[in-house]
Amino acid sequence: MNIAVLGTGVVGQVLASALAAKGHAVMMGTRDVQQALAREQKATGAQLTLAEWHRQNPQVGLGTFAEAAAFGEVVVNATSGFGALPALEAAGEANLDGKILIDVSNPLDFSRGMPPTLFVANTDSLGEQIQRRFPGSKVVKTLNTVNAYLMVNPRQLAGGDHTLFVSGDDAQAKATVAGYLRDWFGWEDVIDLGDITTARGTEMLLPIWVRLWGALQTPVFNFKVVRQAAGQ
Ligand SMILES: NC(=O)c1ccc[n+]([C@@H]2O[C@H](COP(=O)([O-])OP(=O)(O)OC[C@H]3O[C@@H](n4cnc5c(N)ncnc54)[C@H](OP(=O)(O)O)[C@@H]3O)[C@@H](O)[C@H]2O)c1
C-alpha cells in the first residue's frame, strides 16, 4: 500500500522505517526537503539526523507535504501539535479527501518549558480541529498515547498486553485502522472509544504520560485497561 507519513521527527522516522520494512511504499512529507536533509541536529528522541536516517532508509521517498499526501492511499499525520493544521493545509485538502488520516499528534505547548501544557483540551481536541477543517477525510486518532518506538513494536513490553485507543467519526475507518495496527505492528488490545470528540480523552492523557515518563525514567511504558469480560 502507498502510505504517506507527514513528519520528519522521531515518530515520522520510526513509523516510515517500520512501514517500509513491512513492504509498503512510503513517502515522508516535510515543508522543504532540502532544508530537512541539511539539518545537522537530530530530532528529539531520534538516533540519527534525517540525512543519516534517509541513507539507512533509501526506499522511503521524501517529498513536500503535498507530494506525500498525493502519494498516500492512507495518510499519517506525525507533525507537531502546532504544526499539524499548517502541515495538513500544505498537504492540500484535495490530496486528503476520501482518505483515512491517522492522526498521532498531540496538542503540546512547550513554550513555557517542561512539563508542556495542552493548547486545546476539555471541550475540543486537535483531532476534532483536524476533522472539522478536513471534513472529506476520515480522521482516526490513535497511537498518540505511546512512545514512537512502542508504536511500531508493542510486543517489546509485556508481550504486547497493553492498550491502544482509536477515536473517529467513521466506524469503518476505525475498524480498518485497528486492522492496520494489528497487521503492521502487532497491536491486539485496541479500544474504539467512539466519535472524534473522544480524542479529547486520549490527548488529555498526555499530562499524566509526561509525569509518568519523569517518574519511571523511561518512555517505554503504556496504559493497560483491565476490565470485566462482557456479560459478567
Ligand atoms: N515523540 C513521541 O514518541 C511521540 C509519541 C506519541 C505522539 N507524538 C506526537 O507525534 C507528533 C510528532 O512528534 P515528533 O517528536 O516526531 O516530531 P515533532 O518535532 O513534534 O514534529 C516535527 C514535524 O512537525 C512539522 N512542523 C513543525 N512546525 C510546523 C509548522 N509550523 N508547519 C508545518 N509543519 C510543522 C515539522 O516539519 P518539517 O519536517 O518541515 O520540519 C516536522 O515534520 C507530535 O504531535 C507528538 O506530540 C510523539
Ligand 1 pocket at CB < 6 A: 7-12, 30-31, 36, 43-45, 78-81, 83, 86-87, 104-106, 108, 144, 147-148
Identify the pLDDT of residue 230: 81
Identify the pLDDT of residue 229: 86
User: Would you say residue 75 lies in a domain?
Assistant: yes
Q: What is the CATH number of the domain that holds 121?
A: 3.40.50.720
Q: Which domain holds residue 135?
A: 2-216
User: Would you say residue 224 lies in a domain?
Assistant: no
Half-sphere exposure of 115 (CA within 13 A, CB side): 12
Decide if 4 contacts 68 (C-beta within 8 A). yes
159: Cβ contacts below 8 Å, ≥ 6 apart: none
pLDDT (tens digit per residue) in 92-119: 999 999 999 999 999 999 999 999 999 9
State phi, psi for 103 to the nearest 5 degrees. Answer: -105, 115
The residue to mutate among 5, 6, 8, 11, having the most atoms of ligand 1 within 8 angstroms of its beta carbon, is 11
> Burial code of 19-34, b = ≥16 C-beta within 10 A, e = fewer?
bbeeebbbbbbbeebe
pLDDT (tens digit per residue) in 18-54: 999 999 999 999 999 999 999 999 999 999 999 999 9
Q: How many domains does the chain have?
A: 1
Decide if 142 contacts 218 (C-beta within 8 A). no
How much of the chain exceeds pLDDT 90, in percent? 98
Decide if 127 contacts 141 (C-beta within 8 A). yes
User: Would you say residue 174 lies in a domain?
Assistant: yes
Instruction: Record the pTM.
Output: 0.98
What is the band of 168 on the pLDDT scale with cuts at 50, 70, 90? very high
How remote is the CA of residue 230 from the centroid of ligand 1, in Å? 38
Identify the pLDDT of residue 31: 98
Distance of CA 171 to the CA centre of its chain: 19
Identify the pLDDT of residue 79: 99
* Neighbour count for residue 89 (Cβ, 10 Å): 13
How much of the chain exceeds pLDDT 70, in percent? 100
User: Would you say residue 226 lies in a domain?
Assistant: no
